[in-house]
Chain A
C-alpha cells in the first residue's frame, strides 16, 4: 500500500530524510517512531503530496505522489499534528467542506457527517463555530473529518497528543474496527511507546533522517535485548535530548531565502 524507496529530502545542505526505504502492506497498522526532528513529519509530508522529494520513489496505493497527486490524495486521509480546521466555520461546515472537496455524494455525505459527528460526540455542537471548541474537541473533529471520505490509508501524525485516555481509547477502538472491517491501512507516529507497542503490527524507527530499525515490537526488543519498546527505542536512538530548534517550516523558510537570494 505504501512503498518508499531511497527517499531523500534535503533542505539546503541539511538531510531531513536520508535514503529511507520501507513498505507498509495493505491493512497493516504501522507505527513510525523517532525522536523530535528525526524526519517523521517531513516523510509524512512527502507521502501526502505536500512536499516533493529531492530524490527517491514513493508509491501510495500504486500511485506516485509527484506525478499523480490527485489519485494519491483520494487514497488517504490525514490527521495532522497541528490543527487544520477553519475556526470561523462551524463543525458541520468544516465536515461539509471536506466532503465536497473529496467528491462524497450529497446524500451519503449527510449520513456520514451525522454518523461521524455522533461518534466523536460533537453532534449536538455541530452548529457551533470551531473557535468556541476546546483543544480536545477540535482534535476529535479533525479525526472525524479525516475519516469522512473512507480513505484506504489513514495517516495520523501524533494523533493522541493532548487527548485524555478516554478519548484516546475511544479513537483507537474505532480505528481498529475500521482496520478490521474495511481493511484500512493505518500509518501513525507517536511519542507514546506503549501506544505503539499495543496497537502497531509493525514499527519503523527513524533517527537523523535514517531508518535505524524495522520490525514487530517483539523483534525490536529481541534485537536490542531489552524488556520494553521504550527501552528498545532508547537503545536504538540514544538518550540525548533532541533540540527541535527548527521545524520543517523553518527549514523551508531557510530554503526559500536561499532560493530567493540566488535569483
Chain B
C-alpha cells in the first residue's frame, strides 16, 4: 500500500511542480469553450437545443481529462528515456503495483485538471443544474481518467520514444474526442456516426458528465457507468499485461 502511495505521490508532485504544464494544458479546452461556446451558441439555441455553453462544458471537461490522462500514461516514455524507470523496475515491487500506483497518480492529476476546467467554465456562463450533480461528477471523472491513463500506459509500453506522440494525438486522441459527442448531441445523428460514437468510450464518460451537470443524456447514467466500469477493468488488465512486458 505504502509503495502504491509513494508512486502516486510522485506523479502528483511532478504535476504540481510543473505550473507551465498546468496552465498550458488549460489553454486548449478554454479556447474550445470560448470559440465554440459563443460562436455556435446562437445557432444551437435557434435549433431549439437550449444553452450551448451548458451543453458544451461537460464535453470540454471530458476533453481536458482525456488529454491529461493519456499524456500521464505516455509519460512512462520519459521515464524510460531519462532512466528513472530502471530505478523503479529493479525495486522489489510487483509490476502490477507499479502500474496501479502510476495509473492512480495519472488519474488523480487528470481529475484535478477536469475540476479546474469545470470551475473555469463557470466564469464563461456555465451553470450546473445542481451542486449535488457537480460533486457527484467528480468520481465519474476519476473513472474516465483512470481509463485513459491505462490506455496511455499501453501506448507507452509499445513505444520507445516520443517520436510517435504526434501520431497518437492525430490518430487516437483527436478522433476519440471529436467523435465522442463532446461537441454535438448524439440524438438524430446519421446512423454511421452514431455507431462510431457508441464505440468510443469517451462518449459514455461525457454522457455521464452531461447527465450529472446538465441534467440530460443520451445513453442514461446507468448504462454510462456500467460501460465505463467494464471498459476500465479491461484496459487496466491489458495495461498491466503490457507493462509487465517492458524490458529496459
Contact = CB atoms under 8 A, between A and B. Distances in A.
A108 interface: no
B13 A89 contact: yes
Given A70-B94, A80-B83, 8 more contacts: A70-B93, A76-B90, A80-B86, A83-B82, A89-B13, A101-B88, A103-B92, A252-B247
A89 B91 contact: no
A155 to B, nearest CB: 9
B80 to A, nearest CB: 9
B160 to A, nearest CB: 6
Contacts of B165: none
B247 A84 contact: no
A180 interface: no
B84 interface: yes
A73 interface: yes
B18 interface: yes
A89 B10 contact: yes
B84 A85 contact: yes
Contacts of A86: 10, 14, 82, 84, 87
Interface string B1-19: 0110010001001100110
Closest 3 pairs between A and B when the two form their complex, measured CB to CB:
A84-B83, A101-B91, A73-B92
A100 B86 contact: no
A69 B247 CA distance: 14
Contacts of B17: 88, 129
A101 B102 CA distance: 14
A48 B10 CA distance: 24
A105 B39 CA distance: 59
B123 interface: no
Contacts of B92: 69-71, 73-74, 101-103
B84 A100 contact: no
Interface stretch (A49-57, A184-192, A208-216, A228-236): A49-57
Most chain B C-beta atoms within 10 Å of own C-beta, residue among A48, A89, A96, A97: A97
A93 B174 CA distance: 36
Contacts of B18: 88
A178 B87 CA distance: 22
Contact of A87 (B82, B88, B89, B160): B82
Interface of A: 45, 48-52, 69-71, 73-74, 76, 78, 80, 82-89, 93, 96-98, 100-103, 129, 145, 249, 252-253, 256
Nearest to B85: A84
Contacts of B13: 88-89, 93
B3 A50 contact: no
B167 interface: no
Given A74-B92, A89-B13, A93-B13, A98 B87 contact: yes
Interface in B16-40: 17-18
A73 B83 CA distance: 17
Contacts of B47: none
B100 to A, nearest CB: 14
B248 interface: yes
Nearest to A90: B13
Contact of B87 (A71, A74, A85, A256): A85
B74 to A, nearest CB: 16
B101 to A, nearest CB: 10
Interface in B150-209: 160
A51 B246 CA distance: 9
Contacts of A69: 92
A90 to B, nearest CB: 9
B83 to A, nearest CB: 4
30 contacts: A45-B248, A48-B90, A49-B90, A50-B86, A69-B92, A70-B92, A73-B90, A73-B91, A73-B92, A74-B92, A76-B90, A80-B86, A84-B84, A84-B86, A85-B84, A85-B87, A86-B10, A88-B14, A89-B13, A97-B10, A98-B87, A100-B6, A101-B6, A102-B91, A102-B92, A103-B92, A249-B160, A249-B248, A253-B160, A256-B160
